[in-house]
Homo-oligomer: A and B are copies of this chain.
Amino acid sequence: MKIGIDAMGGDFAPLNEIMGALSCVEECSSKVDDIVLYGNQSTIENVAKKNQLDISKLSIVNCLDAVSMQDDPTEILKTKKDSSLYRGIEDLKNKKIDAFASAGNTGATLATSTVLLGRIPGVSRPTIAGFLPTTKSTPTLILDVGATIDQKSRFLLEFALMGSIYFQSVYNKPNPSIGLLNVGEEETKGTDELREAYKLLKNSSLNFIGNVEGRDILAGTSDVVVCDGYVGNVILKFAESFIPLLKQKVKEYSQKSIITKIQTAISIPALRGALQGLDYEEYGGVPVLGVNRISVVGHGSSTPKAIKNMLKRSIELANSNLIDKIQSSIKLNT
């Protein structure tokens, strides 16, 4: 089992990538033979040295170029063939590694994975999902979160099929419930494409519970929430901005008087503890669903812990038969 990681992706690369890879090697030595850092070798070695990190247990594939967050995803394939991202996905395609993970440019990972690895037969659009916390014991998986902004019923059905299998594989829950994100519960709600998607989902082999609304996502009404990539992307980014708002409001309250200042000060441990339940780090990363190999994307601002979890998720996925399962489900339902 060999896992590749884009050492130049992510806002804190390569430091967080190195630290996460080292933690993963330590925790999962029995499950992984090698973690391969794709990136500029001298940069990686210098950062490791400066931070007194022993990277002798990691491999490095030297890549002279890197993809930035600003790079146009469709250009990578033409202009950045020596980037850590391209080289890693190329090695994944050629089976030199079993999975590849990047916390860098998500659009670039999606586009490069789609072209180099190819789509699973029957999949129109590979998709990326996101987890959101809920009031229940498991989070909600929402997809698509930005890969495909066009709302088409066929795409929505495929997202549902892939999301169902992915949720099942992560939480070991057979037949996860699927909700279609809409403006009301009734079958007649929404655009023509949403109404058509409702019918397709109803007639599929999925555990479709009907339309769900914005308030159902965090309530965990369904395990999987299906939507187009425009609304999914907006929701995911919107969700991430709640904690900063809450912190600001706590700060404003504390500044009202000496009493509120004391009240706030003694509240910090409880607040911090409660907010840990909303921690995105735990989910680590999500695979590009619908391509022929395991290509995993992580959050740009991934901490070392998030990188470690992204690599652990990559190992799990490389050991699963996710791709075969998606292929069978698409074949059965379309």
Footprint of B on A, CB under 8 Å?
133-135, 146, 149-150, 181-183, 190-191, 194, 213-219, 227, 229-231, 233-242, 244-246, 248-250, 252-254, 256, 260, 263-264, 266-267, 269-271, 273-278
Contacts and interface: CB of A to CB of B under 8 A. Distances in A.
Q: Which of A150, A234, A250 has the most CB of B within 10 A?
A: A234
B245 A274 contact: no
A237 B214 contact: yes
A273 B245 contact: no
24 contacts: A134-B245, A135-B244, A183-B234, A190-B230, A214-B234, A214-B235, A214-B240, A215-B237, A217-B238, A218-B241, A219-B244, A227-B234, A230-B231, A231-B231, A245-B278, A249-B278, A250-B274, A253-B273, A260-B270, A263-B267, A263-B269, A266-B270, A267-B271, A271-B271
A104 to B, nearest CB: 16
A238 B235 contact: yes
Contacts of A217: 238, 241
B253 A264 contact: no
Given A260-B273, A267-B267, A275-B249, A150 B214 contact: no
How many copies of this chain are found per oligomer?
2
Contact of A133 (B245, B250, B264): B245
Nearest to A252: B277
A235 B215 CA distance: 9
Given A133-B245, A149-B183, A244-B219, A213 B237 contact: yes
A57 B235 CA distance: 46
Nearest to A269: B263
Contacts of A239: 214, 238
A163 B250 CA distance: 29
Q: Which of A194, A216, A231, A248 has the most CB of B within 10 A?
A: A231
Q: Which of A227, A246, A269 has the most CB of B within 10 A?
A: A246
Given A214-B233, A218-B238, A241-B217, A190 B270 contact: no
B149 A191 contact: yes
A109 B252 CA distance: 37
Given A183-B233, A253-B274, A254-B270, 7 more contacts: A181-B234, A183-B230, A214-B240, A216-B241, A218-B245, A219-B244, A245-B278
A109 B136 CA distance: 35
A103 to B, nearest CB: 17
A241 B212 CA distance: 13
Pairs A-B, 6 closest by C-beta atoms: A214-B237, A267-B267, A214-B238, A214-B234, A249-B277, A267-B270
A194 B231 CA distance: 13
Contact of A263 (B227, B273, B275): B273
Contacts of A194: 230
A237 B214 CA distance: 5
